[in-house]
Amino acid sequence: MTVIDISPSVMQFLLAFIVVAPLLGAVAALLPAPPGLKGRNPDQAVLRHGVTVTGAVLIAAIVLATGFDHDHPATMQATTDISWIPALDVRIHLGIDGISLPLLLLTALLTFLCALYSYFKPPAGPSPKAFTALVLVLESGTLATFAVLDLLLFFLAFEMVLIPMYFLIARWGGDQRRAAAWKFILYTLLGSVVMLLGLLLIGLRSGTFDMVALATDNGRGLTTSVQVIAVLAIGVGLAVKTPMWPLHSWLPDAHTAAPTVGSVLLAGVLLKMGTYGFVRILLPVAPDGMRTFAPYLAAFAVVGIVYGSLACLALARRGAKGDLKRLIAYSSVGHMGFVLLGIATMTPTGVNGALFANIAHGLITGLLFFLAGAVKDRYGTADLDTLAGATGAALYGRAPRLGALLAFAAVASLGLPGLAGFWGEMLTLFGAYSPAEGLSRPAFRTFMAIGAFGTLLTAAYMLIVVRRVCMGEHTPHPELSPATTPADVSEPAGAPEPSGTGPSTATPPRPATAQPGATTARLADIQTYEAATWTPLAALTVLTGLWPAVLLGLTDPAVQKLLAGGKS
C-alpha cells in the first residue's frame, strides 16, 4: 500500500535528490549570490538559502515516504545501482527499507528545524556562509549513510560528517570549544581507521561490498574467525560514534561546547549512525561474530545506562555546578545504552526496540537541546545552580510556557508511558528477557534487571532537573538573584543588528529584573520562531508514543528479514 502511487524512476530520483541536493546547496552557499538574491542583508540571505535547501530536502523525503510501499517495508525500494569502481566492484548503490526510512525522515526534519532556528537566531561566530555550507554538508553525509548499500560508500558517508561537525564546534562553539572539537575528531577518526580495516576484510573475503548481497548470504561466505575479527574492528568504530561506554568521553565535552544546532544534530542524527551500522551491517553480515560479542556488548550497554544516570545525578545535585547541556549529554550515554542492549539481544523484539529508541531519542533529545540552548540564551548560563537559584519561581514563574515544555521533554526522556521514550526501552528490556538462541538467558536477564534499575535512575535525575530549573530553590540565594545576574536577557550578547530584510535579530528590551527577595522576574517566553521549531518535535513525541505502530509497522518486517538472512 502506498499513500501516493509514484513510479519507480521518480522514487529513484527523489532518493538521489535527497542525498545530493544538500551537497550542491553547500557549494551554492559559498558562491557569490546573484544580484537579485543578495537582498539588503547578505548574511540573512545565505541563512535563508539554508532554510530553502533543507526545506526542499524535507519535502522530497516526505514525498518519498508517501510513495513507499508500506505493505512490503522489508524490500529495498527507490534503488539505484550503478558501477563506480569496477576494479573493486564498488557501486553507487542506493535504496531504502523500513529500517532506513524513519532515520532518513528524522535527519531531514531535524536539519530543516536547525536551519529555520538559525535563520531567526544566527549563532555567534564567523561567516554565516561557512556555517550554512557546513550544516548542508553534514546533512548530505548523514542522509547518504542511511541510503547507501555499499560498504565503501557507507564508510565515505560515515566519515563525511566528521569535518563539518568539527568546525561547527571549533568555530561556533562556546567555552573550551577547540579542545572539545579536537577530542571529537581524534576519537572518531581513530575508531574509523579500525572500522575501515574490518569493512575491507569483509569485502575482500566475501568478494563483494554490496550490503544487500552480504545480508542475503548471512555470513555463510565468511569463516567464524573472520566474522569475529570483523565484528571487533567494525564494532569499535561504530561504538565510538554511538557512543558506548567507555568510549563515550568525547561526547559530554562536544555537547557542552557545541552551539545549539550543533548539539541537536549531534544527538539527534550523528549518534544514530553508529547504531544503524550495527543493525545494517554486523547483525546480518556477521551473525556468528555478533553472537560471540553480544554478551560483552550488552554488558557495556547496561554499564553505560547506569553510569550515564549516575553522572547525571551527580551533576544535578545542589552545589555541583553542573551544566544543563552536559547533563543532557550524559543522559544520551544512558539512552544509547538501551539501543545497544536491544541490538545485543539479536531478537526481533530487541532490535525493533533499539530502532524505536533511536527515533525517540532523536526527537526528545533534539528538543531538550533546543530548550537548553534557549534557557542559556535567556539566563546567560546553563549552570544548574545559577538556574535554580536565580529566583524562587524559576521558569514556571518567569517563562511558564518554556518551563512547561522543558518539563514535557524531561518526562518524555524518562520514558513516561504514552510518549515516545517508553516503547523503545520497554521493547529492549523484553528482548533481553528472552535473547536469541545461543545467548545466555541468565546473563541477559541480569542485564535486563540492571537496565530496568537504570530507568529508575533516569526518572530520578530528570525529576530533580525539572524541580530545580522549573521551580527553583525554595530559598533564593541573594548572590544568585537576577538583580546580580547581568546575563538575564532574552538574547545573547553579540546578536546581529536588525536589517531591512528577513526577521529582526535585534535584542529585545531587557526584561524587568527582580529585586532581591522577589520571586518572579519575567523572561521572554517562547517566541514564534521557537514554537515553529519545537512544535513538530513535541507533536511527533506524542504521536509515536500513542501510536507506536507508525514506526513498528515499518521496522518489524525489515528486521525479521534481516535476522532471517534475507528471507522474508
Can you tell me the distance from the alpha carbon of 396 to that of 408, in angstroms, rounded to the nearest whole number? 13
Give residues with Cβ within 8 angstroms of 513, minimum separation 6: 482, 483, 485, 488, 521
pLDDT score of 522 more than 90: no
Q: Could you read off the pLDDT of 137-182 as tens digits, one per residue? A: 999 999 999 999 999 999 999 999 999 999 999 888 877 888 888 8
Highest mean pLDDT among 134-143, 433-442, 505-514, 558-567: 134-143
Q: Could you read off the pLDDT of 40-67 as tens digits, one per residue? A: 677 788 888 899 999 999 999 999 999 8
SS3 of 277, please? helix
Can you tell me the distance from the alpha carbon of 16 to that of 94, in angstroms, rounded to the nearest whole number? 8
pLDDT score of 365 more than 90: yes
Using a cut of 0.75, tell me whether the model's pTM lies above it.
Answer: yes
Give residues with Cβ within 8 angstroms of 177, minimum separation 6: 169, 170, 171, 257, 258
Percentage of residues in the chain having pLDDT higher than 70: 88
Give residues with Cβ within 8 angstroms of 98, minimum separation 6: 73, 74, 553, 554, 555, 556, 557, 558, 559
SS3 of 110, please? helix
pLDDT score of 511 more than 70: no
Mean pLDDT over each residue of the chain, to the nearest integer = 85
Q: In this predicted structure, which of 20-24, 465-469, 538-542 has the lowest mean pLDDT?
A: 465-469
The pLDDT, as a whole number, for residue 492 is 39
The confidence band for 293, taking pLDDT boundaries of 50, 70 and 90, is very high
DSSP element (H, E) containing 77: strand 77-85
The answer to whether 561 and 74 have CB atoms below 8 angstroms apart is yes
Q: Could you read off the pLDDT of 185-204 as tens digits, one per residue? A: 988 888 889 999 999 999 88
The confidence band for 123, taking pLDDT boundaries of 50, 70 and 90, is confident
Mean pLDDT of 418-431: 92
Which has more confidence, 479 or 532?
A: 532
pLDDT score of 566 more than 60: no
Q: Which grid coordinates are listed for 33? A: 549570490
Question: Within 13 Å and on the Cβ side, how many CA atoms surround 105?
Answer: 22
Q: Of 443, 413, 326, 415, which is closest to residue 376 (Cα–Cα)?
A: 326
pLDDT score of 309 more than 60: yes
Tally of CB atoms within 10 A around 543:
15
The confidence band for 485, taking pLDDT boundaries of 50, 70 and 90, is very low
The pLDDT, as a whole number, for residue 521 is 58
Tally of CB atoms within 10 A around 496:
17
Q: Which grid coordinates are listed for 114? A: 536547525
The answer to whether 95 and 215 have CB atoms below 8 angstroms apart is no
The one-letter amino acid at 264:
V
Mean pLDDT of 79-97: 86
Q: Is the peptide bond before 243 cis (omega within 30 degrees of 0)?
A: yes
The pLDDT, as a whole number, for residue 36 is 53
The values of phi and psi at residue 164, to 5°, are: -60, -45
Can you tell me the distance from the alpha carbon of 115 to that of 148, in angstroms, rounded to the nearest whole number? 24
Q: In this predicted structure, which of 1-5, 375-379, 413-417 has the lowest mean pLDDT?
A: 1-5
pLDDT score of 249 more than 60: yes
The pLDDT, as a whole number, for residue 510 is 41
Mean pLDDT of 500-529: 52
Mean pLDDT of 349-366: 94
CA angle 85, 89, 94 (to 5 degrees): 80
Identify the residue whose cell numbers are 541510503: 147
pLDDT score of 331 more than 60: yes
The b-or-e profile of 212-243 (16+ CB within 10 A means b, else e) is: bbbbebbbeebeeebbbbbbbbbbbbbbbbbb
Q: Of 503, 490, 231, which is closest to residue 346 (Cα–Cα)?
A: 231
In whole angstroms, what separates CA 516 from the centre of its chain? Answer: 41
DSSP element (H, E) containing 312: helix 287-316
The pLDDT, as a whole number, for residue 242 is 86
Q: In this predicted structure, which of 236-240, 369-373, 483-487 has the lowest mean pLDDT?
A: 483-487
The confidence band for 409, taking pLDDT boundaries of 50, 70 and 90, is very high
Q: Is 49 exposed, middle or buried (0-12, 13-18, 19+ CB in 10 A)?
A: buried
